[in-house]
């Protein structure tokens, strides 16, 4: 049993809780998530089952979409409503002012990682240092906010959607918006609506299923490994080449030349698969297709990143 599951995580549960539940339901040896969600958040949680755990690294760079609700006039230590309130005020703001400030964050911005986060310092998550009273300055990160749309303003609450790059903290975004507005703000609700090519319409709500049918439905909804990376070019190989790759062979130009594949650029990811669709490996191109055509057949053309049984 190998594949990818898209779970609709409920609020109040950690991503680890959901992983544990799915592992137990499926009787799987290995289940991992590809991008955690805070307990407060709901929505798209990508889980990799057994052999598919090798795919997790290829989901790590995925862009994401969120719908967030922000509470104006409240600052907390965790940057969301579940933390200790540090400051509180009554925001006196105009709707257009709020909209302009929120949507003005579109672009590349610098965010400070929350002190209550899983980002590690000296091998330990920041939240553990913080809970022990050790004050560590969290790192700054550059992230991209591709689109922000304010959907509703009912002061002190503001609901907006955002499309963003990996590593974006919506809690930090809300706090930064509050600082710019001068009243402070924290995150009060969050739903991830898309992660990479997976959206909330693909997600399974475990809470909506009867206990007796959960395992069967999860097995039926498993996305095969070969279908889990639709944006990566597929290159068909024969059984002999597949066996060689599994034994450590690095594909050379001779294997790639003549393959019916679109033009590739250096560092593009590719999938090597058998004619029946079974995936053999994911690799990174060392040269563009144009360069490969000019090199000798024995020159290594791609670097294998993951091999699948």
Residues catalogued as catalytic = 38
Contact 35, 195 (CB under 8 A): yes
Long-range (24+ apart) CB contacts under 8 A made by 87-96 are 87/184, 89/183, 89/184, 90/156, 91/155, 91/156, 91/181, 91/183, 93/155, 93/181, 93/183, 95/153, 95/155
Ramachandran quadrant class, 102 (left: phi over 0; alpha: psi -120 to 50; beta: rest): alpha
Nearest alpha carbon to residue 173 among 141, 129, 126, 131: 141
Q: Measured between alpha carbons, how far is 268 from 108 in angstroms, rounded to an integer?
A: 24
DSSP β-bridge partners for residue 120: 125
Cα torsion through 19, 138, 43, 39, rounded to 10 = 60
DSSP-assigned letters across all residues of 46-78: EEEEGGGGGGHHHHTT--EEEEEEEEETEEESS
């Amino acid at each position: 049993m190998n594949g990818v599951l898209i779970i609709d995580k409920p609020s109040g549960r950690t991503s680890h809780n959901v992983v544990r539940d799915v592992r137990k339901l499926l009787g799987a040896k290995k289940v991992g998530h590809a991008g955690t969600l805070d307990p407060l958040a709901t929505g798209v949680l990508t889980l990799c089952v057994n052999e598919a755990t090798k795919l997790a690294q290829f989901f790590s760079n995925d862009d994401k979409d969120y719908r967030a609700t922000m509470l104006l006039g409240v600052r907390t230590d965790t940057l969301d409503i579940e933390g200790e309130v540090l400051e509180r005020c009554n925001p006196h703001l105009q709707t257009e002012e709020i909209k302009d400030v929120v949507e003005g964050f579109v672009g590349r911005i610098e965010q400070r990682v929350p002190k209550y986060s899983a980002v590690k310092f000296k091998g330990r998550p920041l939240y553990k240092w913080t809970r022990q009273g050790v004050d560590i300055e969290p790192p700054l990160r550059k992230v991209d906010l591709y689109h922000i749309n304010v959907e509703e303003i009912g002061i002190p609450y503001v609901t907006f959607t955002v499309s963003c790059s990996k590593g974006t903290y919506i809690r930090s975004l809300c706090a930064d918006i509050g600082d710019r507005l001068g009243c402070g703000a924290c995150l009060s609700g969050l739903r991830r609506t898309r992660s990479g090519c997976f959206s909330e319409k693909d997600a399974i709500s475990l809470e909506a299923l009867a206990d007796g049918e959960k395992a069967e439905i999860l097995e039926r909804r498993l996305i095969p490994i070969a279908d889990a990376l639709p944006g990566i070019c597929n290159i068909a190989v024969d059984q002999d080449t597949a066996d060689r790759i599994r034994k450590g062979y690095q594909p050379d130009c001779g294997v790639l030349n003549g393959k019916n594949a679109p033009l590739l650029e250096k560092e593009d990811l590719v999938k090597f698969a058998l004619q029946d669709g079974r995936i053999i490996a994911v690799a990174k191109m060392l040269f563009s297709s144009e360069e490969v055509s000019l090199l000798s057949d024995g020159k290594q053309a791609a670097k294998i990143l993951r091999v699948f049984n």
